[in-house]
Structure 1
Amino acid sequence: MPQPLADAVHALMGRARADLADLVAFRSVADPRQYPVEECEKAARWVADAFAAEGLTGVRLLDTPDGTQSVYAELPGPPGAPTVLLYSHYDVQPPLDEAAWQSPAFELTERDGRWYGRGAADCKGNILMHLTALRALRAVDGCYPVGLKIVVEGSEEQGTGGLERYAEAHPELLAADVIVIGDTGNFAAGLPTVTASLRGMTVVEVTVATLAGNLHSGAFGGAAPDALQALVRLLASLHDEQGALTVTGLQADQSWQGVAYPQEQFRADAKVLDGVHLSGTGSIADRLWARPAVTVLGIDAPPVIGATSSVQARAKALVSLRVPPGMEITAAQDALVAHLEAGAPFGARVEVARLGSGEAFRADTSGPAYEAMGAAMLEAFGVPMVASGEGGSIPLCSTLRTLYPEAEIILIGVEEPTTQIHAVNESVDPRELELMALSEALFLRNYAAARRA
């Protein structure tokens, strides 16, 4: 391991923890229905100030078409040096049930050697990965070996496409030789990983209506068509008894050709309860990385507390569809919508609204930047880099691939399986953060040297 750079990163970890605590404290959920927009604005300003303090110039907030702000910064490199774009996002998922958190969701808390808080891994931990790598390079080398561009998105979790639309309107802004997406993580803690594929995603909102208004369940129940019952049956029709998809037009028998995901490891990572069977068929890797998946994200229905004895007139659900590389997102969405519109019980009225979507992504891992990243990760972790898939979606990746077809796009991050992103008690392993920051710093050195050779 290159000791001076490793020592510099290690010495910066106290600062990284303090900065992550500041950043986690912002309730930067990019949905004004849940949290004030000022929380996102304060987070954006914090990020802008942090990169400005590391010598980046041209720091500014980009007002994107979805009404949110992305942070942008840049710094030209030495003559002839390549340009590297570093990406992450400062918006976070809502905390869900805050009472289920073992410590406050928006207060970084150390417990059992991990740092807990919403966004600690996804994706504020990755912002600190970028910052710590840059700080270490400045401390040891006094400068950066490459030209830098930084973009930190403000609405990635909402999938509203603000940064994608902004980039399409300003294609010169994010142009780079290499784009490092800090929004994934290692296949397992301590195993350095690049993410080679992402599923695309689309979201639809389905509303079922059966009555002009709610009715007394004693006077009318048993004959009056219940919209909530109809919705539940409609959603159940999306899968068979094994949990495999049953949507006509969605191929769901593809196979993953790459690193395997042992079933017992998955059960442990996902914290599946004893005796509960997994959904779907095929290998775990097939199900997560090679096949489409439909998930019911939420249902509008009366809560248990305060519910009345009523037959429901209307019910609504939010449904997501993830699709693997090679499956066109619009055609997949069409198939899902057709299934929902055709399958309503009782002849119920069904309305399906199409919300945001993004294409799947597959990386070309054969270029010189990947070679440089592999060498960097081997130095930092002491074990060879592997490539894995990722069941999640980052719609910006496909936009960047279209805008900059010659750029290498590398996906890395601190989000190993036990971080519980998008769930309660999200956390980050500080050792993963340290080694990933070191890997990124080494990569910037390695790639610059390779381009000079």
Structure 2
Amino acid sequence: MTPDQIQSAVAAAMPQAVEDLKRLSAIPSVAFPGHPEQPVLAAAAVTEELLRSAGLPHVQQIPVEGSFPAVYGEAPAPPGAPTVLLYAHYDVQPPGDPAAWRTPPFEPTLIDGKLYGRGTADDKSGIISHVAALRAFQGRFPVGIKVIVEGQEEYAGERLEAFVDRNPDLLRADAIVVADTGNPRVGDPSVTTSLRGMAAFTIEVRTLKEPVHSGQFGGAAPDALAALMRMLTALHDENGDIRVPGLPRGAFLGQGPSEDEFRKTVGVLDQVSLVGSGSLADRLWSSYAITVTGLDVPNVSGAINAVQAVARARVTVRVPPAGDPKTTVDAVMDFLRQVTPWSAKVTITDFVVGSGFHADSGGKARAAVNRAMERAFGRPPRDVGAGGSIPLVNTLVKQFPAAEILLFGAEDEDAATHAPNERVDLEELHRVALTEALFLLELAQDA
């Protein structure tokens, strides 16, 4: 096929791709503990069906120990052609407070060329970009194709890491496309060359056998919630920089967003300052960050006049690409224990870790992506970092050191991933699918 034929084929396939994304995004495939398993398994089944529709002769669900199944597809390489592995995940973040959504999170809604709903961007757009790109070839692929779509990346992606360690030949490839990132802005092509790692844990503080009357005992009874708040606020100094020893600020060599762009994207309120020091690229892509992502405390609407006996928090730590998540989380936990007031009892459980990633920007595969993106977007891509983590990527680096790993996708920074009102721009999805299809053709021609 010629590039013009690829372009026409992808354009013709997009209406069906959008319908497929609506169908897949309507499934509440939240793979966190406490959420029903059936929708996650339903998303795996739909993903399997979609990969079959893309012309792959071999598709199956593969059990992953302690997790949900991965969906795997494969087409053999033509003689002398390289093999490309395509990655995405079908699980999604919990929707959070439904009242914060302008449209129902699991009723995909099209507004002004954007599809709103949980998972429409992260990362069901990645699945659909793979499917739309593959459909353009009608089963006659110019390179070998392998596809792996996992089912628990958002909560415990390291379980797929262990699977890859045990089954390296299944995913062995010359180039790997990870469709779980995106561009800084719609229409601004980029390739993500660095990812922060992550670690997370739940901390519980106990001070009393049970809550007691705040009027009768307050002022002497140790408040577990107050203790926890003091511990969490101790993690940062007045400027917002991390106070934990051994977690220095890093530096990113590329260009990051301007402060105005960042404030607009994030929705920082007028007169509210940003936190931390150093450039925004340093803070977002190459430095540590600690965030309290959840609290178990009494709701304001149901509050009673009591000194709290127990309080819990979920703490997430982002780790620079070269940092060690395990060492980092140990440092944070040790610091929290050191600043615990009143000899309160502290328990730390439910650990999750994932390593970061830094890519080279050379090689045949990167050159092929550059040409493909320039045709699809009208200009060549630039290198950017990402503050989030993709646990599988570092394992792929270790297992396949000769493979080029390429991170791009349709999740622009305004997509509200992990937040209410998540959405994907459908024209951006089209350009990304076209980029991937053109990349496969360009890579075959370079072989």
Into which bin does the TM-score normalised by the smaller protein fall? over 0.9
SS of the residue corresponding to residue 137 of structure 2 reads: helix
Runs of 5+ unmatched residues, structure 1: none
SS of the residue corresponding to residue 73 of structure 2 reads: strand
In structure 2, the residue matched to 1:206 is 203
Give the TM-score, by structure 2 length: 0.98
CA distance in 1, matches of 2:133, 2:115: 19
Kept in 2, the 8 Å contact 1:77–1:83? The answer is yes
Kept in 1, the 8 Å contact 2:297–2:311? The answer is yes
- Indicate which of 165, 170, 195 corresponds to 2:167: 170
CA distance in 2, matches of 1:287, 1:159: 25
Kept in 2, the 8 Å contact 1:420–1:427? The answer is yes
Could you say if the C-alpha distance between residues 380 and 160 of structure 1 is closer, same or farther in structure 2, counting changes exceeding 3 Å? closer
In structure 1, the residue matched to 2:5 is 4
Could you say if the C-alpha distance between residues 19 and 354 of structure 1 is closer, same or farther in structure 2, counting changes exceeding 3 Å? closer
In the TM superposition, what is the alpha-carbon distance from 1:55 to its structure 2 partner?
Answer: 2.1
In structure 2, the residue matched to 1:344 is 340
SS of the residue corresponding to residue 305 of structure 1 reads: helix
In structure 2, the residue matched to 1:299 is 295
In structure 2, the residue matched to 1:28 is 29
SS of the residue corresponding to residue 405 of structure 2 reads: strand
CA distance in 2, matches of 1:424, 1:264: 22
1:19 aligns with 2:16: no
SS of the residue corresponding to residue 417 of structure 1 reads: coil
CA distance in 2, matches of 1:221, 1:230: 14
Identity across aligned pairs (percent)?
47
SS of the residue corresponding to residue 169 of structure 2 reads: coil
- Indicate which of 223, 229, 233 corresponds to 2:230: 233
- Indicate which of 232, 239, 258 corresponds to 2:254: 258
User: Which letter does structure 2 place at the counterpart of 1:89?
Assistant: H
In the TM superposition, what is the alpha-carbon distance from 1:328 to its structure 2 partner?
Answer: 1.8
User: Which letter does structure 2 place at the counterpart of 1:325?
Assistant: P
Cα-Cα RMSD: 1.2
1:415 aligns with 2:411: yes
Kept in 1, the 8 Å contact 2:157–2:392? The answer is no
CA distance in 1, matches of 2:29, 2:348: 29
SS of the residue corresponding to residue 173 of structure 1 reads: helix
SS of the residue corresponding to residue 137 of structure 1 reads: coil
Give the TM-score, by structure 1 length: 0.96
In the TM superposition, what is the alpha-carbon distance from 1:107 to its structure 2 partner?
Answer: 1.1
1:362 aligns with 2:381: no
In structure 2, the residue matched to 1:430 is 426
Kept in 2, the 8 Å contact 1:341–1:351? The answer is no
In the TM superposition, what is the alpha-carbon distance from 1:160 to its structure 2 partner?
Answer: 4.6
State the Cα deviation string for residues 263-311 of structure 1 (Å, max 9, x = none): 1000111111111111111111110011000000101111112121110
CA distance in 2, matches of 1:357, 1:32: 16
SS of the residue corresponding to residue 300 of structure 2 reads: coil
Kept in 1, the 8 Å contact 2:54–2:132? The answer is no
In the TM superposition, what is the alpha-carbon distance from 1:112 to its structure 2 partner?
Answer: 2.2
In structure 1, the residue matched to 2:277 is 281
SS of the residue corresponding to residue 151 of structure 1 reads: strand
In the TM superposition, what is the alpha-carbon distance from 1:37 to its structure 2 partner?
Answer: 0.7
- Indicate which of 305, 308, 312 corresponds to 1:309: 305
Kept in 2, the 8 Å contact 1:31–1:37? The answer is no
Kept in 1, the 8 Å contact 2:203–2:349? The answer is yes
Kept in 2, the 8 Å contact 1:340–1:352? The answer is no
After TM superposition, the structure 1 = structure 2 runs for residues 22-421 of structure 1, keeping only pairs within 5 Å, are 22-34=23-35, 36-138=36-138, 143-252=140-249, 254-353=250-349, 355-421=351-417
SS of the residue corresponding to residue 172 of structure 1 reads: helix
In the TM superposition, what is the alpha-carbon distance from 1:31 to its structure 2 partner?
Answer: 2.3
In the TM superposition, what is the alpha-carbon distance from 1:354 to its structure 2 partner?
Answer: 5.4
In the TM superposition, what is the alpha-carbon distance from 1:5 to its structure 2 partner?
Answer: 2.1
In the TM superposition, what is the alpha-carbon distance from 1:162 to its structure 2 partner?
Answer: 2.0
Runs of 5+ unmatched residues, structure 2: none
